[in-house]
Structure 1
Amino acid sequence: MKDTAKHQGLRNQLAAILAQKGITDKNVLEAIKKIPRHLFLNSSFEDYAYQDKAFPIGAGQTISQPYTVAFQSQLLEIQKDHKILEIGTGSGYQTAVLFMMGAKVYSVERQNELFKTTSVLLPKLGIRPKHLSFGDGYKGLPNHAPFDSIIVTAGAPIIPKPLMAQLKIGGRLVIPLGEEHQIMTMLIRKNETQFEKHEFGEFRFVPLLENKN
């Protein structure tokens, strides 16, 4: 598991590209600079790891392109020790970004193959989420709620009601909504019953699957 000066240089270049594309949150850009993305990919992709592209990671899933990871992370407006629920651990790269930004990360993954791999990889890199679990992301983690923010890293046809219920008042839920193409959507919880909705254009994600365990 090598991380070289060359890799660091490529990360710095990637962060500069993301800044040019409109990522302004310095905490997000610093996290991108620190995390060895090449270690989250199959070694055959190592030479391409710091391009702003998505890649397959097994189990029919992908590691999102860095811009998407950075964009979603920026929308959350993370502060140190914020309690964040991530739906879709995947490769663990987004988990690592949230952790590096100072968040307490609770993450759920429904693909057992990915869950096992990521559970081993993250501690090796010194990344320690508060809680990693194998399960149905649609249900969230009610036993650990409420959360300051919730991030969904797969396309969903609807916003799961349990996730809305697990969000603190004032909290943010960021989710790609839609079937084939997704609109990046953010809900801000105003009170017990009201949510303010914002939309941020089209993205493409793998689907969020329900009740497949």
Structure 2
Amino acid sequence: MNRAFSPFVKSLFVALLAVSGVASAAEAHAPAAKVDPAKGATLYGDGDSARGLPACVSCHGAAGNSTIAANPKLAGLPEAYVYKQLVDFTEPSRNQPVMTTYAKMLSDEEKKNIAAYLSTQTQKPGAAKNKDTVELGKKIYRGGIAEKSVPACASCHGASGGGMPARYPRVGGQHQDYTIAQLNGFKAKTRKNSAEMATIASRLSDDEIKAVADYVAGLK
């Protein structure tokens, strides 16, 4: 049997490949969707009932200022950092029953929109509560613990706890309970999305963790 293509079939095959190549090139160079904080604000405040997605505001408060000590304040966190955490919640490195469920319901574009919205909000200040440990917390935050090879928290999170975009979050003004929970999570390796923090937290005692968490709550 003659398996040779006829001139017509060959021409058609070449044409199809050319069209496919043009389409692929167009997709590769298509502009990425523009980040839209306004859409992020709507999703944050209203959720999406059609998908069973609750409003973020119900747990994290108006404009990202949570009033629930176990839930973090998100207002003013760096856009790139919030986006990274939403992605991390969909992976084993940061599995958390509630947030993992909701993060998986969000598209990549929606994650970016919510992150953009939160980064423009202003965090309401917190306050240190334990006057007996605030000096210990201050000492660790500003100078670390040399004998335990614990670096100063300020070296990454800034003197005022403002953090550095993408890599290090704002910790100043954060709820004590939430900060304690995260440091304990790093220490127990149940939160696995920062090897650096896991190492540092493992060197801190429970009292030192509480002292640091209380001190940073009062940073502005």
Give TM-score scaled by structure 2 length. 0.27
Give 1 or 2 for the bigger CA radius of gyration: 2
Q: Select the structure that is richer in helix.
A: 2
Greater length-normalized contact order (CA 8 Å, ≥ 6 residues apart): 2
